[in-house]
Amino acid sequence: MRVLQLISTIGYYGAENAVFNLAQSLRDKGCHSTVATLTRSDRHSRELYEAAKQAGLPAVDLCCSGRFDYRALKKLLAFVSEHQIEVIHSHNYKSNTYAWIVARIKNLPLFATCHNWTRTDKMLRLYAAVDHFLLRGFDHVAAVSQQVAESLYQAGVHREKVSVVANGVDLRRFETMEIAANDHITIGTASRLVPGKGICDLVSVAPDLLREYPETQFLIAGEGPEKQNFEELVRKLGISRNVTFLGFQSDMKKFYGAIDIFVLPSHNEGLPMTILEAMAGGRTVVATRVGGIPQVVRESTGILYAPGKEQELKVALQRLLRDSKLRGLLAREGRQFIARNHSASMMADQYMQLYLNRIPYQSSVPARSIA
């Protein structure tokens, strides 16, 4: 089976990470999976393409101008024909549009994964509405959480076309993770630095925590248009000595190894890869009660709090800063939970079964390879 994993990308974030893990795990199971990236000419990002090539995965990078580029579409059509692609699997707004057109022209099975929708402005809300309309015509749509699935039902996608397939982590990456030997606790977060990710919430509770635990350090990984505003907030609060903005991190395993507590303060999420990876790496997790996060961060595996509730976040972090045994217990239980329920291998098995159930011809991948 030859599957094209298609995604529009402006960096290496959660969806890109999920695509990479899926392509690798499908290859391990005998499925030929190609990574195709649609990149903007003004923000050309080759991180996913380069990661795929380095891992030995077939990959193609298609540079696009504007919201829709007919030349990029022609190149994609040619690639699909030349490489005899049998299944198209897309992963976000723009890639869903290109995939829908190509699949209709080539009469190919069409799949999508919905990681989440961002609706922070009018244009993004319009994109989400168009995406919802297009997804009704896909053969099958995977949602990364039940909440995302409910959004698909409300958008008119038939229930029989929707499955919940949670993101998965390549557990092998974290078997040899080096843990920094610090004499202080380090709290970290990683996300795009945009509105809605709750970075201000975390920064705002830092002064109170530092009054009680003055040696605590905060590491913030990621890039985005709000970075300067967040840095200015840190300066105004007088905590620059304790807060470091790391920028984009190409080696997230090293980042997880440098922190003790991982915080995800987002106000809106699907099922973020950072949560799964932090838990797989044995980090203690504090996260908001949104999207699919409560599926993995439970009483025994981490601490949840209501999005935007800074007092709840502060109390959760104070509790962990005071109690090293609790930190250790939650970290161990979290790592075991991810190993049992959210491996990339398990994710790939579910997608393989979806492909086989929908392809109207004999696949080159034997059914017995499905766990």
**Residue 84 DSSP class:** T
Please give the average per-residue pLDDT across 269-285, as a whole number: 96
pLDDT band at 33 (very low <50, low <70, confident <90, very high): very high
**Residue 315 DSSP class:** H
Element (H, E) at 86: none
Q: Are 272 and 144 in contact (CB under 8 A)?
A: no
Residue type, 92: N
**Residue 161 DSSP class:** G
Q: 244: which strand partners?
A: 219
Q: What is the mean pLDDT of the chain?
A: 92
- In angstroms, the Cα distances linking 280 to 44, 289, 337 are 31, 19, 8
Please give the average per-residue pLDDT across 264-287, as a whole number: 96
How high is the pLDDT of residue 363? 41
Please give the average per-residue pLDDT across 258-274, as a whole number: 95
Backbone φ/ψ region at 196: left (φ over 0), alpha (ψ -120 to 50), beta: left
Q: Taking the domain 172-341, which CATH number applies?
A: 3.40.50.2000
How high is the pLDDT of residue 293? 96
As given in the structure block, the two tokens for residue 7 are 């995604």
How high is the pLDDT of residue 202? 98
Q: Is residue 216's pLDDT more than 90?
A: yes
Q: Taking the domain 2-168+343-369, which CATH number applies?
A: 3.40.50.2000
What are the domain boundaries of the chain?
2-168+343-369, 172-341
274: helix, strand or coil: helix
- Whether 2-168+343-369 shares its CATH topology with 172-341 is answered yes
- pLDDT > 90 in the chain, percent: 82
* pLDDT tens digit sequence for 339-359: 999 999 999 999 999 999 876
pLDDT band at 360 (very low <50, low <70, confident <90, very high): low
Please give the average per-residue pLDDT across 101-116, as a whole number: 94
Q: Is residue 39's pLDDT more than 70?
A: yes
Q: Is residue 364's pLDDT more than 80?
A: no
How high is the pLDDT of residue 120? 56
Q: Is residue 111's pLDDT more than 70?
A: yes
Q: Are 288 and 305 in contact (CB under 8 A)?
A: yes
How high is the pLDDT of residue 40? 83
d(CA 18, CA 114): 11
As given in the structure block, the two tokens for residue 41 are 């000419």
* pLDDT tens digit sequence for 140-169: 999 999 999 999 999 999 999 999 999 999
d(CA 360, CA 56): 29
How high is the pLDDT of residue 366? 38
Q: Is residue 367's pLDDT more than 60?
A: no
d(CA 326, CA 333): 11
**Residue 176 DSSP class:** T
How high is the pLDDT of residue 370? 30
How high is the pLDDT of residue 177? 87
How high is the pLDDT of residue 98? 96
pLDDT band at 10 (very low <50, low <70, confident <90, very high): confident
Residue type, 76: L
Q: Is residue 371's pLDDT more than 50?
A: no
pTM above 0.85, yes or no: yes
Q: Is residue 365's pLDDT more than 60?
A: no
* pLDDT tens digit sequence for 57-79: 999 999 988 778 999 999 999 99
Please give the average per-residue pLDDT across 227-243, as a whole number: 98
* pLDDT tens digit sequence for 170-181: 999 998 888 888
* pLDDT tens digit sequence for 125-137: 777 788 888 999 9
Q: Is residue 118's pLDDT more than 90?
A: no
Please give the average per-residue pLDDT across 90-113, as a whole number: 95
CA dihedral sign of residues 166, 354, 115, 268: negative
How high is the pLDDT of residue 119? 55
* Alpha helices (runs of H) in the chain, residue ranges in sequence order: 14-28, 47-54, 70-82, 93-106, 122-135, 146-154, 199-212, 227-237, 252-257, 273-280, 293-296, 310-322, 324-341, 344-358
Please give the average per-residue pLDDT across 243-258, as a whole number: 95
For 237-243, which contacts have Cβ atoms below 8 Å and span 24 or more sequence positions? 237/203, 237/204, 237/206, 237/207, 238/207, 239/203, 239/206, 239/207, 239/210, 242/206, 242/210, 242/214, 242/216, 242/217, 242/218, 243/203, 243/206, 243/217, 243/218
How high is the pLDDT of residue 68? 85
Residue with tokens 């200015």: 232
202: helix, strand or coil: helix
